[in-house]
Amino acid sequence: MVKVKILPDKENASEEVAQMMHDLIVEKPNAVIGVATGSTPELAYDLLAEKIKENNTDVSQLQFFALDEYIALPWDHPESYHAVINRTVTVPLGVDPSQVHVPEAPDDATEGPVRYYDEQIEAAGGIDLQLLGIGRNGHIGFNEPGTPFESPTHVGRLTEMTRQDNSRFFDSVDEVPPLAVTQGIGTILKSRKAILMAFGEAKADAIRDSLAEPPAEERPGSGLQLHSDCVFYLDEAAAAKVDCEPLKVD
């Protein structure tokens, strides 16, 4: 089931999410946190880093698992998710790189070897809190429309829309890798709590479709309706086409 929380703007929503993450870390210093890349969670990471600094919070036992990574993009490329997670999470939060996991896949994109990632997550005790953004076409992680809801970590092909949207991080769309390894929707559904953030009118259709019933695999975000504890944190623009009554979340 998805609860929806609508806040006036990205700043308010990011502050709430950062506070929730900080509360979890204080309560459970060995928490396992799933982290997303993209522009959406960046402010929440910055605010969390400030809280950790201000409170001298112990982060030495945390573990982080990134959602996804491009295939055949060198890890030292500034837009590889290894590099992005290092820049936005590992360094600002002051955690050791050994505490941070990013999925890997061979350049020939063979499927088999990527399943190890779900085993690593399970061995860490499972994800306590999974952060998510959403693509304009409703993808979560790189689970594009049509991905089975029970999918484990797997190799997927990016849609042209996703490659166009992500081309803003590259010199041209041709440089955006066509393949990625991603936690599956099944992996995401196993997290104990999931938080999806979406800001701006470009996400309004994807949010409406994610909440439209019944869940359908051509609308990946709608798979989150099958999650036992999922909250969407939206600004007013992203929530503009939500036609259900938002549930109050404390």
Contacting positions for ligand PGA (CB under 6 A): 38-40, 133-135, 139
Active site residue 229: no
Comparing every residue's Cβ against ligand PGA, the nearest one is: 38
Cβ nearer to ligand PGA, comparing 139 with 219: 139
Strand partners of residue 63: 32
Q: Please state the closest distance from residue 154 (CB atom) to ligand PGA, in A.
A: 16
Distance separating alpha carbons of residues 207 and 106, to the nearest angstrom: 33
List 82, 137, 154, 227, catalytic entry: 137
Active site residue 27: no
Cβ nearer to ligand PGA, comparing 99 with 191: 191
Active site residue 144: yes
Q: Which whole-number Å values give the CA distances from 52 to 31, 36, 195, in the listed order? A: 14, 19, 20
Active site residue 137: yes
Distance separating alpha carbons of residues 33 and 146, to the nearest angstrom: 26
Distance separating alpha carbons of residues 220 and 71, to the nearest angstrom: 21
- Are the C-beta atoms of 174 and 184 separated by less than 8 Å? no
CA 14 from centre of chain: 14
List 22, 82, 101, 139, catalytic entry: 139
Distance separating alpha carbons of residues 64 and 100, to the nearest angstrom: 5
Pair of tokens at residue 64: 């982080």
List 128, 144, 165, 209, catalytic entry: 144
Q: Please state the closest distance from residue 112 (CB atom) to ligand PGA, in A.
A: 26
Distance separating alpha carbons of residues 178 and 187, to the nearest angstrom: 22
Cβ nearer to ligand PGA, comparing 59 with 67: 67
Q: Please state the closest distance from residue 119 (CB atom) to ligand PGA, in A.
A: 24
Cβ nearer to ligand PGA, comparing 81 with 117: 81
Q: Please state the closest distance from residue 202 (CB atom) to ligand PGA, in A.
A: 8
- Are the C-beta atoms of 129 and 118 separated by less than 8 Å? no
Q: Please state the closest distance from residue 34 (CB atom) to ligand PGA, in A.
A: 13
The DSSP-derived string for 50-92 is HHHHHHT---TT-EEEESEEESSS-TTSTTSHHHHHIIIIIHH
Cβ nearer to ligand PGA, comparing 117 with 199: 199
- Catalytic residue positions, numbered: 68, 137, 139, 144
